[in-house]
């Protein structure tokens, strides 16, 4: 720091602490809730110190929910598995389609090119509810309702535009002459794309993939309408904890902790790429 005085340092410290507290509080609170039973959670005033219990996690993992009204079967682990499968497949498909498309948009000027690229981006703007009703009718006609493929397909609305626009910015940053030099040395267009352009845009592709994975993972409405219990991801599965005998806050918290952990770990691991990907790819005009 160039202009650091003692007062400045203290102010920075206090400000940072406040921000961290503000943003971390819900996460920490939920983490604590996940080790309490409903009575402890609903106690007024709430207490910081409590006797931790693993019963919430046990219930989730075993699939047996004990409530005042009796035992309930829940499919949380199945939901978690669905989330992993759906998000990974959606991102894989979006990368497969989006990266070559981004390359085409970055390298070649063709008729309606900008219009198509912008139309794809506009899918991100459209409220999902707007398309859901007609979509669910079509899905029923086509037999795509309640299939993994159907949900992966609809997730392209989330993942594809994101990947396309971030990766396109990355490709535009790479001088086409680097690929030209490679092609002159006796390699085909395809080799230049796979061996030069894609590796050079690697960080951007990773960032875009990661971001769209998180967005897919967090999606709620598409799967709520288009899938039934055995295909639903965790976001929808959490609804099962709203039971006849009350809301199971402890299990909800544990479910949140379990479902957030994979994406959180992934995001922490790839933090650098994420920031770089967003600031380099998306902002560049």
Q: Min. distance of Cβ 285 from another protein in angstroms?
A: 19
Q: Is 280 in the site for another protein (CB under 8 A)?
A: no
Q: Do residues 171 and 234 touch, judged by C-beta distance below 8 A?
A: no
**Span of 116-124, 136-144, 164-172, 193-201 interacting with another protein by CB under 8 A:** 193-201
Please check whether residue 75 is in contact with residue 229, taking contact to mean a CB–CB distance below 8 angstroms. Answer: yes
Among the candidate windows 32-40, 76-84, 178-186, 270-278, which touches another protein by CB under 8 A?
Answer: 178-186
x-marked contacts with another protein along 57-96 as a string, rule CB under 8 A: ----------------------------------------
CA distances from 176 to 166, 181, 213, 241 (A): 18, 9, 29, 54
Near another protein by CB under 8 A: residue from 76, 165, 182, 222: 182
Indicate whether 194 belongs to the interface with another protein (CB under 8 A). no
Is 181 an interacting residue with respect to another protein (CB under 8 A)? yes
Of 178, 239, 247, 264, the residue at the interface with another protein (CB under 8 A) is 178
> Which distant-in-sequence residues (6+ apart) come within 8 Å of 271 by Cβ?
none
Using rule CB under 8 A, residue 118 touches another protein: no
Q: From the CB of 87, what's the least distance to another protein, in Å?
A: 30
How far, CA to CA in Å, does 234 sit from each of 64, 72, 78, 89, 119?
16, 17, 8, 16, 30
Q: Quote the longest CA-to-CA distance of the chain.
A: 75
Query: With contacts defined by CB under 8 A, how many residues of the chain interact with another protein?
Result: 18
Q: How far, in Å, are 41, 81, 122, 250, 252 from residue 258 at the CA level?
A: 18, 11, 33, 12, 10
- Prior bond to 45 cis, omega within 30? yes
**Interface residues with another protein (CB under 8 A)?**
109, 111, 175, 177-178, 180-189, 196, 199-200
């Amino acid at each position: 720091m160039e202009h650091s005085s003692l007062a400045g340092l203290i102010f920075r410290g206090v400000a940072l602490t406040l921000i961290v507290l503000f943003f971390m509080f819900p996460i920490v609170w939920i983490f604590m809730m996940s080790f309490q039973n409903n009575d402890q959670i609903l106690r007024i005033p709430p207490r910081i110190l409590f006797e931790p219990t693993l019963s919430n996690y046990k219930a989730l993992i075993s699939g047996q929910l004990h409530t005042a009204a009796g035992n309930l079967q829940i499919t949380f682990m199945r939901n978690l598995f669905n989330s992993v499968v759906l998000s990974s497949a959606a991102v894989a498909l979006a990368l497969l389609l989006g990266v070559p498309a981004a390359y085409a948009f970055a390298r070649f000027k063709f008729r309606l090119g900008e219009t198509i690229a912008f139309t794809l981006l506009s899918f991100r703007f459209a409220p999902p509810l707007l398309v859901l009703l007609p979509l669910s009718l079509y899905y029923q006609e086509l037999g795509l309702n309640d299939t993994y493929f159907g949900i992966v397909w609809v997730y392209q609305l989330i993942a594809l535009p994101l990947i396309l626009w971030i990766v396109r910015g990355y490709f535009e940053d790479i001088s086409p002459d680097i690929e030209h030099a490679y092609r002159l040395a006796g390699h085909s267009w395809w080799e230049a794309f796979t061996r030069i352009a894609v590796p050079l845009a690697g960080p951007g592709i990773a960032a875009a993939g990661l971001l769209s994975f998180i967005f897919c993972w967090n999606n709620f409405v598409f799967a709520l309408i288009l899938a039934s219990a055995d295909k639903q991801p965790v976001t929808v599965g959490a609804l099962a904890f709203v039971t006849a005998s009350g809301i199971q806050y402890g299990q909800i918290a544990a479910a949140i902790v379990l479902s957030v952990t994979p994406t959180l770990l992934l995001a922490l691991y790839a933090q650098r790429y994420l920031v770089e990907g967003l600031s380099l790819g998306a902002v560049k005009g």
